[in-house]
Every structure is written in structure tokens, then in C-alpha cells.
Structure 1
Amino acid sequence: MSQTVIVQSRPTEKKTYRPMVLAALVISMFMAAIEMTIISTAMPSIVGELGGFSLYSWVFSAFSLMQAVTTPIYGKLSDLFGRKPIFITGIVIFLTGSILCGLSKSMIMLVIFRLIQGLGAGAVQPIAMTIVGDMYTIEERAKIQGYFSSVFGISSVIGPLVGGFIVQYAHWSWIFWMNVPLGILSIAGVVLFLHEGIEKQKRSIDYAGSGLFFISITSLMIVLIQGGVAWSWTSPQIIVLMLVFILGSGLFLAQERRTSEPMMPLHIWKNRFITVANTATFTSGALVIGLTSFLPTYIQGVMGSSAFVAGFTLTVMTVGWPIAALAAGHLIIKIGIRPTAVMGGIAAFIGSLFFITLDPAKGPIWAGTGSFIIGIGMGLTSSTFMISIQNSVQWQMRGVATASNMFMRLLGSSVGAALLGGVLNMRFKSFLSSADNPLGKAVSMNSIDQLLNSAGPHPMPANELHVVQHGLTIALHSVYWGVFALAIVTMIGTFFLPKKHTKQV
């Protein structure tokens, strides 16, 4: 289907006031990134008030799922209609979802409203990164992207501390409502100071590809979240969803090969930088969400520490992440792309060792040390991957290439939250029917709701508390073995980056 749309050309720097646009983009990145992690330390309080621990991972997955499946679509639309209108539309949708999330009265409502949030967030981060790529030259981009990546890292991991602070001194709903003033500031900065040079052309929009992509990825996410928990792996629901995923993926690939304007041009994956960097980005995204989603539950539920302490164990990642991200820009110039990425992969591996050896006796300091080292790894790899991808393609493909990397990180977060959440639920469910549970049916999945509701009027009996904490320890330990495996894959992936960098044409 063809129609007249607006196609962005390179912005005119004389009209665009770069410092103010950059400030607005930083605010938007902070707003969208922090929303994925700020809820982690608030979840125990939310579960305590709304119940529904079985839907725990859905609160994370709903947001990252919708963000992941819409990111490539928004990236393509920004090439067709211009960055500015798509970016603003995304923020408006995101703010609408944020307001509704704060008004949720049940876990189901919260999950639905998180989908709306994710629908808007899919436009924010990739387009913000693309605008930065548009405004700055190749020489400037390493420094700016390193700075931008550090902002992303800080906002991602400072979230748990902010969430813990809000839960301790206010109501959890404010973790969503705080987005409203940030979103308004970001919109104002882009509207007033970003001026795009545009031209009109007749282009087509790949509606079929977008729809097939959405259906396929959504089916896979539901399988990963519900499989082995709500539905057995051989249930009709799981089988049907897997068939939908396989068939939908095949049709999507066929559609992208034949359409003139594919939503995700397949030829970009022939670029080795893009293929390797995006694969490692996928596993690193899953690794980070594995920590930010479930470490606060360990610190609060197993160790019995406060939400503030739980947030601190993740917030120390903000010390390592921005330092490493800023250093990455200089290291790339001095030692190259691959050595810088390998350093990050090794750091992520070392940090993951702290979590497979974590036990209640080691305390929050042990967990915080592991978070710091993983922050070093994420700062080095995330900056390096983005810079290498943007500099290895022509300007006309930068939007799609940037969106592909953001998509893989978000998809990794979605799969990580779903898969590791499924591991947690299955492992605890197995514990309930094992000899390690002397209380039998007196303990259930709902017992975790009561454990995490520290403000509840009826404290859990001591014997039951001990059993639930023991089961939660076993379940979360399985999650951290998953994090360890993801760190290994990420590290191995960095060794496959090309030795020499392909200059942008």
C-alpha cells in the first residue's frame, strides 16, 4: 500500500539547537529506562497490596514485550515521517500508560496498563539514540554515545534505589506518576529546539510485516512466561502458541524479502558488526533484567532487608556503568572495538560469579559488589556495540540499524524476564511438593505475597516464614545460574567481533 509520507533527511544544524535537544533526549531516555527498573524494589509492596504473585514477571514482561515489538516499527516510521512527530507520539502514549498504572486496583489492571506504557516507550529510546546519531559527526559520536550510554546505565540502575525510597516514604503509585513532568519537559525541548530538514516522497509502509512480527514475538513471550507454570509444556495452549510463532516467523521473513520497504531490512544482518553486537546485546539485556527484576526480592524476602537496601545493591551499578561507558569512547580509539568489548564481557562474567555464590550469610555487600562489576561490563559493551553499529552503516540506514540494536536489548529483557521468571515459578512450585517443605499445603505461591508484604497486619508464623524463605532462596539461586549462563554467552560473543572496524560511508 503506497501513500505520500514525509521522509527525514539530515537535520540542519543551523536550525537545531543541539545542547537543548540533547538535554530533552537525556530526560526522555532517563524516563523510559528507569521505568523498567524502578518497579523492581516496589514490586514486593505492590504484590502485598494487589496480590497476584503468579503475575510477577508479567509486570516486567508486559512493558518490555510491547517496547520490543514496537521499536523496529517506530524506527521505520521515523524514517518515513520524521523523528520528531513519532518521538512526541511515543511520549504521549507512555505518559498515558504511566497515569493509568498508578491508578491500578489489581495486578491484571497493572499488567494491561504496563502494555500501554511499553507501547509508548518503544518510540522513545531508539529514536532518541537515532537523533543523536543524526546531530553529531562520526568524530563526535563516540564521546556523545558514551555519554548517552552512561545516562541510560545510570537511569536503568538508579531506578531500584528511587523505587525503594518512594515505597518507603510514599505510595508506590508515584513511581509511575513521576514520569509526567519529565515527559512534558522532554516534549517541550524537542518541539522548540529540534528542526528537521524533510522532503516528501512516495513510500510504502510494511503493515503486513509489522503485524506478523508483533504476533510472532508476542506468542513466544507468552510461551516463555506461562510454560511450566500456568500451562504444562505439552498443553494445547503452548503447542498452539509455538506453532503461531514458527508460522508467523516464517511468513515475516518471507514478507521482508519481497516487500520494497521492509520493516526490518534483512540485509543489514549480513554486516558482521550488527550480527555479533546485536546477539551479545540480546544476552546482556537478559542478564541485566535478571538482576534488576529478582535481586530486590532476594534482599527483601530472603535477607529481610529494607526496600532501600535492596535498591542500593543495584544502584551501585551506576558507579561502574557510566565510568566504563565514558571510558569506552577513548578505549575504542586507542585499542579498538573488539578489545574494548572483550574487556566488558570478562567483567560481566566475573560479576555473575558473585550471584551464583550468593547466600543470606554474605549479605547485601556481596550482592552490591557483583552489581558494580557487572555495571563495568555493561558500560563497556553497550557503548561499544552502539558505536560500532552506527559507524558501520551508511547514514540512510542508521535509523534501522540503531533500532535493531535497541530491539535486541529489549527483546533480551523480555525473554530474560519471561524465562527467568518462569524458572523462579517452576523451581518454587517444585519446592512446594518436595521433602524440603515440611508444612505441605500450608505453604503455597500465595505465601510469597504475605512474605513480601512487610506492612501486613498479620505477620507470618516463624516456622512458615523459615520454610518460605528457604524455598525462595532455592528458586532464586536457580535464577542466578541463568544469569551466569547469560554472562558466559555475552563474553563469548565479544570475541567474535571483527578485528578491524568498517568505516561509515
Structure 2
Amino acid sequence: MDRGRHALFPLVTPAPADAVGLRSERGPILLALMVSTGLIAIDATILATAVPSIVRDLGGFSQFPWLFSVYLLAQAVSVPVYAKLADTVGRKPLILLGIGLFLLGSVLCGFAWSMPALIAFRAVQGLGAGAVQPMAITIAGDIYTVAERAKAQGYIASVWAISSVVGPTLGGIFSQLGIWRWIFFVNVPLCLLAGALIVRNFRESVQRREHQVDYLGAGLLTVGMTLLILGVLEGGQAWAWSSPTSLAVFGVGGLLLLLFVLVERRAAEPVLPLWVLTRRLLATTTFLAMGIGVILIGLTSYVPTYLENSLGVSPLVGGLALAALTLGWPIAATLSGRLFYLRYGFKPTVLIGMTLVLLGSGGLALLAHTPSVAVVAVTCFVTGLGMGLVATPSLIAAQASVAWHERGVATGTNMFARSIGSAVGAAVLGAVANAVIASSGRPETDPTTAADSGAAVFLAVFVAAVLTVVAGLLMPRVSAQEVQQKGEGQERPAEDGVEAEVA
């Protein structure tokens, strides 16, 4: 990539660490980022609690993994495009575009008349989420130093903590009342508020330059991944695994992904720069994000359904059990800076987190054949604590190790990896669950079948956690100060200006 073509650099002068907060000079921007993050945080848990209700109304239990896969795939393939544009046209236009698309997708989902229609409209939501989440994280990386982010992350993590309770609770209530469509309509006022706060409080002055978007690479990645997910989800259902159709789907999907890699090597501004994988810190944090994506989707999409079908509990109870996972995550993320990576470094923090993930996911898999709400809640909480010590520190390490004009790409790649992990994970775990249900000869609502399929899914999640540990072990051992100094040493001169400021 020709860095000389970029004319982007933040001119924000970092404020003292004690100036981090909603009442500080940058407080209005932080509030805007918190509300924007809330859109994605609530969506991460609110839908899973209503899956049985949606299936009863629209049908197609075997298709429900698509509700998560298509959303995450759209998010994943759009993240690198948005990240590239963010480094050339600025962050603000893209986060507003993302909020608009998320709003449109939410309204369409609320009016969906069939499972295929709902799946298609979830893709629109995913395109919006692909801009909102990474842009919010990137803006925070722009206006806060590494040390400041440890405090700023506490505010952003509080959004996930609140959403971890609000999301499942709303989803459960709407489901029990038979108005599951409000799961999507509730996003409308949140989107309007988030957009208004961004417009009012965040300014950036960008000297726009001509740029080339790698549409060919994005198209090859989208179609290739869609075919692979289609093959995994429909194999053994719509067609036999060894059928010509199955072989053709996997073959063409694999070929397109190979072409994608070749295109990325020659693209002037690749949608997924391969140089990211040549830096050990970025490569290992990317694979950590992918593993976290698999673990996260495996629990968030199956825990409520597992409890509702195996024990007959209400959607609200199933949702609150899942809330333990998303409550543990922000608690650990908030404490990770002050208690761990600022003192001991990023790698020890990640390894401590992965140990907790192994304990939580292993315990859940081991005890899944004897369903218990309490056991699920405790193991999910421990797993969430672990993921909070892995996801946030590894992302901050990746952000801080690169210059500003690379930060959008580094952030986007990390989010891309998590989304791809979740999209593929949803497909693979869905195939595992469907295979167990099909072999039992009983419906998915049968308690024994639900327990067996849940146990199989949770065992697969544990295996994914074991593989993710490898990336943590290969992560280079650097301190927060070393990473920050390296990143600052790569910054562009101040005259290449993009300015972000408080309105």
C-alpha cells in the first residue's frame, strides 16, 4: 500500500488520564459511542431468546442458524470495506451510514412475513453493524491513548453490561407476550438517538483523496463464504454430504476464496490487506478474535433454546441465564486494563482469560446432559469473564501497535475475524445440532433431544476454545508501554491532517 497517498492524521491532543469521562471535554463523543455500541450490544442477545417463538410463527427450525450466520457474514465482509474507507474518508460518514442501514434492516425484519424474508432482512442489519461497531472502536482508539482506553473501556463496557440484562429481558418479555417483532422495532428510537448524538458531538476534518475500493475482493469473499456456509448448513438436510450438489457448493466456494487471496495480493487497496498477517502480534490477535467469535455465537444462539426446550422454562428465564455470559464479559473487560495488561502485559492477560474460557465452556459441555439453569448461568458467567480478558486486551494491543492511518484496517481486520468466526461457527454448530436432532427421529422440542443437541453444540464450543488457546500461546509478549511506543513511532507528520474534535 502506498502510504504517501494518505492525508489522514488525528490532531487531537490527548488529555490527562483523569479527563476521561462523560463530563470531560471528550465526554459527548464518548456518550455517542456508547449509544452506538448499544445498538449492537442489545442485538447480540435479544434475538436468541425469541428463536422458539419465531420458529412457531414462521417455521423452519433447521433454518434458524441462518438468522445469525447471514447477519454475521454481512457484517464480516463489509467490515474490511468500511475500515478501508475509514482510513481515507473519515470515521463519521461511515458510522452514520451504518446506523442508517441498521435502522432500515430492523424495520424490515419487524415486518418479515416468512423465515427467508427475515433472513434476507437480517443481512441488511448486518451491513449496518459492519460499520457501527468497528467505527465506534476506531474512534475511541483515535481520541484516547492506551492508558486512557483502560478507563474509557469501562464506560463502553458498561453498555454491554446493561445490554446483557436488557437484551435477554426484552427478548423474553416480547416472546412471552407473542410480540417478538418488537425485538426489531425497539432499535428504531435507539438508531435515531445514536445518529443524532454522532451528528451533534463528533466532528472531523478530512482532506479527501481518491481511493480504490476492492469491490472484486469483497465480492469474491462474500460469495465464497456464503457458499461454504450454505454447504455446511444444508449438507445432510437439503442434500446428502457426498452428493454432487454438496461437492459443487464446497468446491466453488473454496475456489472463490482461493481467487480472493490471489486478488488481495495484487489489489492496490485490498479489502483485507495480507500484510496484517505478516506481523506476529496482529496475526495472533486476529486468530484470537476468530476463536472468540465461534465461542460467542455457540453460546448466545443456543443457550436460550437449549434451556427452553430441555427444561420448558420461559424465554425470560432462558434469556437471563444467557445474560450471565454477557455480564461477565464487560466486568472483566473493565478490569482488564487496570488490573492486568497495564501491569503484566497483554499475553499473560489473554492466557488468564483463555483459562477461564476453558473452565466455563468445559463445565457446560460436561454437565449439559443434566440441564440446569443455575449450572448454565454459572458456567456462562465464568466463560464471559474469560472472554472479557481476551477480546478487549488483544484488540487494544492490535490497535496500539500500528499508526493512525493503519488503525482502521487493524481494527476492521480484528472485527472481521470475529464476525467470520461467528458466521462459520453458527453454520457448523447448526449443522451439529441438526444432525443430532435428525438422528434422534424426534422433534427439536423433545426434552431429551434438546439436551443431546445442546451437549453436542457445547462440546464443539469447548473444542474451539482449546484451539483458540494456541493463538494465545503464540502471541508475542510485549507490555502496553512497548506497544504504545511502537505505534507512536509510526505516526504520520501532523501536517497530513484529519481532525477529530468535540462539537
TM-score, structure 1 as length reference: 0.88
- Partner residue, 1:292: 300
How many angstroms does 1:221 deviate by?
1.8
User: Separation in 1 of the partners of 2:370 and 2:264?
Assistant: 53
How many angstroms does 1:125 deviate by?
0.4
Q: Is it true that 1:363 corresponds to 2:372 in the alignment?
A: yes
How many angstroms does 1:360 deviate by?
6.3
How many angstroms does 1:6 deviate by?
9.7
Secondary structure in structure 2 of the residue aligned to 1:305: coil
Q: Is it true that 1:94 corresponds to 2:120 in the alignment?
A: no
User: Separation in 1 of the partners of 2:158 and 2:260?
Assistant: 35
Do the aligned partners of 1:348 and 1:377 also contact (CA within 8 Å) in 2? Answer: yes
Within a 5 Å distance, the mapping from 1:304-343 to structure 2 comes to 304-330=312-338, 331-343=340-352
Do the aligned partners of 2:354 and 2:390 also contact (CA within 8 Å) in 1? Answer: yes
Aligned with 2:233 (options 219, 225, 238): 225
Do the aligned partners of 1:347 and 1:377 also contact (CA within 8 Å) in 2? Answer: yes
How many angstroms does 1:284 deviate by?
1.5
Do the aligned partners of 1:62 and 1:118 also contact (CA within 8 Å) in 2? Answer: yes
Cα deviation, 1:41-99, whole Å, max 9, x if unaligned, reads 11111111111112111111111111111111111122222211111111111111101
User: Separation in 2 of the partners of 1:161 and 1:7?
Assistant: 46
User: Separation in 1 of the partners of 2:358 and 2:139?
Assistant: 33
Within a 5 Å distance, the mapping from 1:72-83 to structure 2 comes to 72-83=80-91
- Partner residue, 1:424: 433
Q: Is it true that 1:105 corresponds to 2:83 in the alignment?
A: no
User: Separation in 2 of the partners of 1:143 and 1:99?
Assistant: 35
Q: Is it true that 1:481 corresponds to 2:459 in the alignment?
A: yes
Query: For residue 393 of structure 2, what is the amino acid of its counterpart?
Result: T
Do the aligned partners of 2:291 and 2:465 also contact (CA within 8 Å) in 1? Answer: yes
Within a 5 Å distance, the mapping from 1:9-408 to structure 2 comes to 9-10=9-10, 12=12, 18-145=26-153, 147-149=155-157, 151-152=159-160, 155=163, 159-169=167-177, 171-330=179-338, 331-359=340-368, 361=370, 363-408=372-417
Do the aligned partners of 1:9 and 1:197 also contact (CA within 8 Å) in 2? Answer: no
Secondary structure in structure 2 of the residue aligned to 1:195: strand
CA, structure 1 residues 361+473, in 2 after alignment: closer, same or farther (shift >3 Å)? closer
Do the aligned partners of 1:40 and 1:296 also contact (CA within 8 Å) in 2? Answer: yes
How many angstroms does 1:169 deviate by?
4.0
Do the aligned partners of 1:6 and 1:198 also contact (CA within 8 Å) in 2? Answer: no
Cα deviation, 1:161-218, whole Å, max 9, x if unaligned, reads 3311222246101110111111111111111111112113233222222222222222
Within a 5 Å distance, the mapping from 1:460-479 to structure 2 comes to 468-479=446-457
User: Separation in 2 of the partners of 1:142 and 1:489?
Assistant: 28
User: Separation in 1 of the partners of 2:160 and 2:285?
Assistant: 18
Q: Is it true that 1:492 corresponds to 2:470 in the alignment?
A: yes
How many angstroms does 1:259 deviate by?
2.1
Do the aligned partners of 1:65 and 1:411 also contact (CA within 8 Å) in 2? Answer: yes
- Tell me which moved more, 315-324 or 127-136: 315-324
User: Separation in 2 of the partners of 1:367 and 1:197?
Assistant: 49
CA, structure 1 residues 13+196, in 2 after alignment: closer, same or farther (shift >3 Å)? farther
Cα deviation, 1:300-327, whole Å, max 9, x if unaligned, reads 1011111111011111224422221111
Over the aligned positions, Cα root-mean-square deviation in angstroms equals 2.1
How many angstroms does 1:479 deviate by?
0.8
TM-score, structure 2 as length reference: 0.88
User: Separation in 1 of the partners of 2:281 and 2:54?
Assistant: 41
- Tell me which moved more, 67-76 or 194-203: 194-203
User: Separation in 2 of the partners of 1:485 and 1:149?
Assistant: 27
Secondary structure in structure 1 of the residue aligned to 2:271: coil
How many angstroms does 1:144 deviate by?
2.2
CA, structure 1 residues 470+246, in 2 after alignment: closer, same or farther (shift >3 Å)? same
CA, structure 1 residues 484+158, in 2 after alignment: closer, same or farther (shift >3 Å)? farther
- Tell me which moved more, 63-72 or 319-328: 319-328
- Partner residue, 2:20: none
How many angstroms does 1:229 deviate by?
2.1
Do the aligned partners of 2:134 and 2:412 also contact (CA within 8 Å) in 1? Answer: yes
Do the aligned partners of 1:149 and 1:383 also contact (CA within 8 Å) in 2? Answer: no
How many angstroms does 1:110 deviate by?
0.9
Do the aligned partners of 1:17 and 1:194 also contact (CA within 8 Å) in 2? Answer: no
Do the aligned partners of 2:354 and 2:469 also contact (CA within 8 Å) in 1? Answer: yes
- Tell me which moved more, 495-504 or 268-277: 495-504
How many angstroms does 1:388 deviate by?
0.7
Query: For residue 306 of structure 2, what is the amino acid of its counterpart?
Result: Y
User: Separation in 1 of the partners of 2:411 and 2:154?
Assistant: 15
How many angstroms does 1:36 deviate by?
2.9
Do the aligned partners of 2:75 and 2:127 also contact (CA within 8 Å) in 1? Answer: yes
User: Separation in 2 of the partners of 1:65 and 1:477?
Assistant: 25
How many angstroms does 1:150 deviate by?
5.3
Secondary structure in structure 2 of the residue aligned to 1:498: coil
Secondary structure in structure 1 of the residue aligned to 2:64: helix
CA, structure 1 residues 221+154, in 2 after alignment: closer, same or farther (shift >3 Å)? farther
Query: For residue 279 of structure 1, what is the amino acid of its counterpart?
Result: F
Do the aligned partners of 2:362 and 2:459 also contact (CA within 8 Å) in 1? Answer: no
CA, structure 1 residues 335+154, in 2 after alignment: closer, same or farther (shift >3 Å)? farther
Query: For residue 379 of structure 1, what is the amino acid of its counterpart?
Result: G
Secondary structure in structure 2 of the residue aligned to 1:197: strand
How many angstroms does 1:409 deviate by?
0.8
Query: For residue 415 of structure 1, what is the amino acid of its counterpart?
Result: V
User: Separation in 1 of the partners of 2:25 and 2:223?
Assistant: 40
- Partner residue, 1:463: none
Secondary structure in structure 2 of the residue aligned to 1:196: strand
- The alignment-based identity, stated in percent, is 41
Structure 2 gaps of 5+ residues are: 15-23, 490-503
- Tell me which moved more, 303-312 or 229-238: 229-238
After the TM superposition, which segments of 4 or more aligned residues of structure 1 sit over 4 Å from their partners?
A: 5-8, 11-14, 359-362
Do the aligned partners of 2:369 and 2:452 also contact (CA within 8 Å) in 1? Answer: no
User: Separation in 2 of the partners of 1:11 and 1:389?
Assistant: 21
User: Separation in 2 of the partners of 1:259 and 1:90?
Assistant: 25
CA, structure 1 residues 296+175, in 2 after alignment: closer, same or farther (shift >3 Å)? same
How many angstroms does 1:428 deviate by?
1.0
Do the aligned partners of 2:356 and 2:382 also contact (CA within 8 Å) in 1? Answer: yes
User: Separation in 1 of the partners of 2:232 and 2:44?
Assistant: 19
Query: For residue 76 of structure 1, what is the amino acid of its counterpart?
Result: K
